[in-house]
Amino acid sequence: MQFLSDNSDLLWSAFLTTLSLAVVSGLCALVLGTVLAAMRVSPVPPLRGLATFYVEVFRNTPLTVVFFFLAFGIVQIDLQFPSRFLTAVAALSLYTAAFVCEALRSGINSVPAGQAEAARALGLTFGQSLRQVVLPQAFRTVVPPLGNVWIALAKNTSIAAGFAVTDLTAALQRLANANADQLLAVFAAVVAGYLVITLPSAWLIRVVETRVAIVR
């Protein structure tokens, strides 16, 4: 315990890095994923094709490879992120957006066809019926899957440690090297750090789910 309080500064800043990494990339992924989902159901075939292509590529690419390319690859086309943190945010958001899109699409598909038909019968356009009728219902049904994507994202931030972001996992590696006799305490502290993010999220998801659920 002595040792944990000695390193509390490192662990605390690492925890904040992990948390901000998860929050920032979660928000970016949510926006990008929603746009992608709208594209996937849009009337314009090229937009559908583009979104499908994006999702297929990122679903089949390991997150490590995405990181790898953003960290080492895009230098070759004269692009560079201003910081390691932003590289990690970009990789996590690009990757997670594909899964946000998948979750949302399954939500859109679960909205009964009658809703969209009624919206169209009232004369709403595609954009209107999507924005005002289908998506509000879809977002409610996808609270659990989207929440799970967010939790998976929070755990996936650990991969950023492999690319020189000092998050919890990086702190783990550093502390484990320095304190070989305290390994269990180090692991417990780091896992607790992740659980502090994921467990309240899981609880919140359950609360929100019951609050917004549509009884059909």
Partner 1 sequence: MSTSVLFDLPGPRARRRQLVGTVVGALVVAALVGLALWRLAANGQLQPDRWAVLFDPASGVPQALWEGLLNTLAVAAVGMVLATVLGALLAVGRLSDHAWVRIPVGVVIELFRAVPLLILILFCLLFLPTVGVPMTAFRALVLGLTLYNMAVLAEIFRAGILSVDRGQQEAAYALGMRKTQVMTLVLLPQAVRRMLPVLVAQLVVLLKDSSLGFIVGYVELLRTARSLVEFFNFSFGSQYTFQLYVAAGLIYIIVNVVLSQVARSVEKRTRRSTKAAAAKDVELPADVQMGGGGGPA
Residue 111 makes contact with partner 1 by CB under 8 A: yes
Token pair for residue 170?
A: 């990086």
Cβ atoms of 36 and 55 within 8 Å: the answer is yes
Which residues inside 55-84 make contact with partner 1, applying CB under 8 A? 56-57, 59-65, 68-69, 72-73, 76-78
Query: Segment 134-153, which members bind partner 1 (CB under 8 A)?
Result: 134, 145, 148-149, 151-153
The stretch near partner 1 (CB under 8 A) out of 4-12, 82-90, 188-196, 207-215 is 188-196
- Choosing from 41, 97, 165, 171, the residue that interacts with partner 1 (CB under 8 A) is 41
DSSP string, 71-130: IIIGGGGT---SSHHHHHHHHHHHHHHHHHHHHHHHHHHHS-HHHHHHHHHTT--HHHII
Phi-psi region of 131 (alpha: psi -120 to 50; beta: other; left: phi over 0): alpha
As measured in angstroms, the least distance from the Cβ of 127 to partner 1 is 10
Indicate which single residue of 32, 103, 143, 171 sits in contact with partner 1 (rule: CB under 8 A): 103
Any contact of residue 207 with partner 1 (CB under 8 A)?
Answer: no
Task: Give the Cα separation of 108 and 52 in Å (integer).
Answer: 15
Token pair recorded at residue 54: 């994006």
- Which of these ranges, 9-17, 19-27, 36-44, 208-216, lies near partner 1 under the rule CB under 8 A? 36-44
CB of 110 to partner 1, least distance (A): 8
Per CB under 8 A, the segment of 8-16, 20-28, 40-48, 82-90 that binds partner 1 is 40-48
* Alpha helices, H only, the chain: 2-6, 8-40, 45-59, 63-68, 84-110, 113-121, 126-128, 135-141, 143-156, 168-178, 183-212
Name the minimum Å distance from CB 6 to partner 1.
20
